[in-house]
Structure 1
Amino acid sequence: MDSPIAKLGPEILLEIFEWLSRDRSATLVPSVLCCRKWQSLVTPVLYSDVVLTNNNIAKFAGNSPGHEVRSLTIRLDPILVDPSNPSEAKQIVESRLKVLILLGLRIPRMRPKALSISIDFATPLTASREVSSILDHLPTCCTSLEVHVSDVRHGGVIPGFTADPRTDVHLCDTIRTILPQLQHLRLHLPRLCSAIFSSGQPSQNAPRQVVRTPMLKTCIIDFSMRPPGPSSYSGAWAIPCNEDTTQILPIPPASQLPSALPPVVPVLKDFARVNSANIERFWIIDVESRDPSCPNSWAAWVRRDFMTNTSFPIPATNIGGFRLDGWLARVPSPISPNKTQDWLATPSILQSLAEGSTWVGTTSGAILPITMIREHQDILKARTRESFQKQTRISCMLWRNEDETGEKLLPKGPGKLMQQWNLSETTPNGWTRDAYHGSPMVRIPYDEV
């Protein structure tokens, strides 16, 4: 006699397998091996949104049977570097670089519609050559691309080793060649230049040749290398491609390095104008550090919208101490950008909100354009102030002062495209406060006003 589950139709079984794919503690591999009927149903689900990490990338690249996938997420996190034995870390990184080359050769057979690459290696080793190789093999069916390469000032240092200049590839040139096939692009690179969007330098006889991208709908370029914060090493920005910091150890704070954004602004404006017919969202995420000379100033992401020539500050800070989900950001409303809402989550989730949730992370680890999220997929979400406080009982002086005065104290947009924002908290009329960070508002007596 057939078991009850054997009587289920393929539609119901497929629904069950899709629900199982949402659970990180569950595995679909035994289901593939159960029987031929299940194998035909489970395989498309198992290889739908593939996530490769430090733990499984080598096995996948070596044994991949060449199944087609809907999306491919590659996330290689930092490894620990033992100062007494740095050669071990170097060997691990070099082995992963070889795996990336092998994976690039197999990507054409996988035919992903979306590719997300996030790599964080220790200085002086980079993965620019390997990432470039993957992009060179990108099939034309891949129309969504995210590239997130670590900041050389962030991924740690392997002492005693120097980088081989032959392994350093200019990613801007590589990305430019595949721009025309893309619908969604998200970049987070430590070095950037105008070569991504144009070829050649403008002159009196030869104007700049801006790339035309008839398919492109959304383009997010994040110049912030770290979440905004009070430290001089927080809120760092991308630097120009011709700026060499790899030989400077320790790497200086961001305030001592040039930002890559000002030199490329003319090209970004030209690119937005030339492709305005099809681009729906072209945002640059800039970063402004907290002014240590102002006791109640904030650091912020700054969303610079090159389609509307406006900018919006997104103040952010950590109010949760050691809680990873205790970061606060005041984000413009997607419906009414001149209104704001407070959200609390990890820095990466808040950064996605700063980018308008154009790309989002799922609970399974996949990074996808929001347009590719399926009904059964759960995305990583931030919490409102009410939800956060109900669970943690954590507050901050900003909220207390705003509740006391009845006014919002942080700046909000819109402003001019390249506006440098004053991120200090305002003091309403009739109120005063002491000149130290986090001081409470005190009402001025009426006879002293």
Structure 2
Amino acid sequence: MVTATIDALPSEILLYILEYLHDISTNNDFISAFAVCHRWQQLGYPVLWTNVVLTNQNIKTFARSVAEADESICRLVRSLSIQLDPIPPKTPWDGGGGLPLFWGEILPPQGEPLWLSTFLKDMGAEWQTVSRGFWELSKNMKSKLSRVKTCSYQMELEPPIILQKQRHFTNPPQIPASLLGEFLRALPSSCTNLEFDTCAIDSVDEGNEHLCSTIRGIIPRLHHLRLRLKHICPNLIDPSYHFPDSGSYITTKFAAPYLKTMTINLRPLPWYGPILSEHRVHTQTILPHYSTHWSVERDEIKNLALRDLMVKSLVTANKEKALPSIQKLQVINMTGRLKHDYPQDGDESMVLVRDDILANTTTRIPLRMLYFTNRRTFRSGVIYALYADSKDPAPIFGELSALEQKAERETWTTDSHKSRFPSSFESPSFTKHKRFGGNHLDIAAEVAGFAHRHLNVDVSVSALEFFPLELVRRQWRIAQRLETTVCEGLSVSSSEA
């Protein structure tokens, strides 16, 4: 019997082995395999660099590597997934999210713009480092990462429940809009898939950056777009609206000839309640007849007006053939709580609303908050129950961000190494270097196992008692009684998710 060493394997088989090794190991462990021989290093670099995931821990190092690395290495990058967490693990009492990174100050590096130094001076040292790493990456991205096809920027914000209960907590670590604008303008022309989710904690700084206008300039080349900003307005689509505070006016005709999927998410941060005043929908622009004094009701009307105007703009753009390639076009929002139906705990009931422009329908998906004591299992110490199907009383469990993906019909998905891609995305480089694992988190099984591990629910009922069939039916009846007219020209019906 003739035996062969691994050196005798064809490159295709060795590459397959290295891909498998990368899928089951950390990057540090995978890099150690490069020391075996030059051939392993030569085949391993494309596997390592094709799909890059950046977090608080490695964004500064990666930005420095991009600045110093040979251009031939940087050109290997095809997808860039940036997932920043402003509330990282910090204390043992919550097992997940700690206190926000506010305190401390470090000296700014040479060449840093004054607006960035001013903005970061009151932030914590770690968040300053993260933000500066993001800025350094933006400086070199267009010239060095010239073949990036997919870019995902996400703020991962699942705050611990102790912060969610603090309704006055309105100043989490933020990132300046000017810095986000620099990043967007630095995206190479090869980037045709964009997910840009600031989790509504981007902040206006001393500049006049209007991210809606910046993103509008990128849309003509995009194939897939998922978007959530703190300051969002119909200027993204419709030139008849303007942004009064910034003096921004858009007069160019909107066109997105290649866009296949577009998801605009208007949901605010969870601890602010279902409606967020910081969404900059100006009463003098869209509700001139309404009182400008502060009230929750006024803010809810503003939020609903934003949804209506955004949907109307998308309907108009579609009718005018500005989206000839579009296959999925939707707006996600959250409506007020159903207080009158559940007075004992109705304060935690809400409804996710999905407006499907192409199908001409609105889907309302009831959502309820559950409190669990086990914060090691869930990042925030709290999970939600999503009633995704009116015919099925069984809810789907998960943290809000995960369930939101269900409401969005998972237009973007995550692979085993946390790289983000459009669900319909296919390319030779992607299928060669990444095979999707199951991205559907089976949290229901985890919840079902609570009883076996003797974990208690904070509320005074068991998990089985919490979801009676009649409760689900009542939840849907209330949701269906909400307003059904989205805007002129869009007839709406309630349908299952």
TM-score (norm 2): 0.68
Q: Which has the higher contact order (CA 8 A, sep 6+)?
A: 2
Query: Within 5 A, what are the aligned runs for 1:35-434?
Result: 35-64=37-66, 65=69, 66=71, 67-68=74-75, 69-79=77-87, 80-81=99-100, 85=104, 89-108=123-142, 109-110=144-145, 111-119=147-155, 125-152=174-201, 165-201=205-241, 210-226=253-269, 233-234=273-274, 236=276, 239-240=279-280, 257=299, 258-259=302-303, 260-273=306-319, 274-295=321-342, 298-319=349-370, 321-322=372-373, 323-324=377-378, 326-331=383-388, 342-372=395-425, 374=431, 376-383=435-442, 387-388=445-446, 390-393=448-451, 395-397=463-465, 399-402=467-470, 410-411=476-477, 416=484, 418=486
* Alpha carbons 2:235, 2:241 under 8 Å: kept: no
Q: Aligned letter for 1:102?
A: E
Partners of 1:125 and 1:389 lie apart in 2 by 33
Q: Which has the higher helix share?
A: 2
Aligned-pair distance for 1:289?
2.7
AA at the equivalent of 2:333: D
Query: In structure 2, what residue type is equivalent to 1:137?
Result: A
CA distance in 1, matches of 2:241, 2:296: 27
Q: Would you say the 8 A contact 2:370–2:385 is kept in 1?
A: yes
**Aligned counterpart, 1:6:** 7
How far apart are residue 15 of structure 1 and its match?
Answer: 1.7
Unmatched 5+ residue regions in structure 1? 156-162, 245-251, 424-449
1: CA distance, partners of 2:309 / 2:23: 44
Q: Once the 2 structures are TM-superposed, how far is the Cα of residue 133 of structure 1 from its aligned partner?
A: 1.3
**One-letter amino acid of the counterpart of residue 329, structure 1:** L
- Mapped partners of 2:233, 2:178: distance in 1: 17
Runs of 5+ consecutive residues of structure 2 not aligned to the other structure: 88-98, 106-120, 158-170, 243-249, 285-293, 452-461
1:340 deviates by 8.5
TM-score normalised according to structure 1 size: 0.75
Q: 2:414 corresponds to which letter in structure 1? A: G
User: Aligned partners of 1:96 and 1:2: how far apart in 2?
Assistant: 51
**Which moves more between the two structures, 319-328 or 11-20?**
319-328
Contact map agreement 2:104 2:125 (CA 8 A) in 1:
no
What secondary structure sits across from 1:292 in the alignment? coil
Which has the larger share of strand?
1
Cα displacement string for residues 278-300 of structure 1 (whole angstroms, at most 9, x for unaligned residues):
21111100101313233265312
- The percent identity for this pair of structures is 23
Deviations 1:333-391 (A, max 9, x none): xxxx9889732222222111110110112332222111237462324313375x45643
Query: Structure 1 residues 365, 295: closer, same or farther in 2, change over 3 A?
Result: same
**Is the contact between residue 305 and residue 417 of structure 1 (CA under 8 Å) also seen in structure 2?**
no
After superposition, what is the alpha-carbon deviation per residue over 1:257-293, rounded to whole angstroms, capped at 9, x for unaligned? 3323234343222123233532111110010131323
Task: Measure the CA separation in 1 of the matches of 2:188 and 2:350.
Answer: 40
Distance 1:311 1:238 in 2: 25
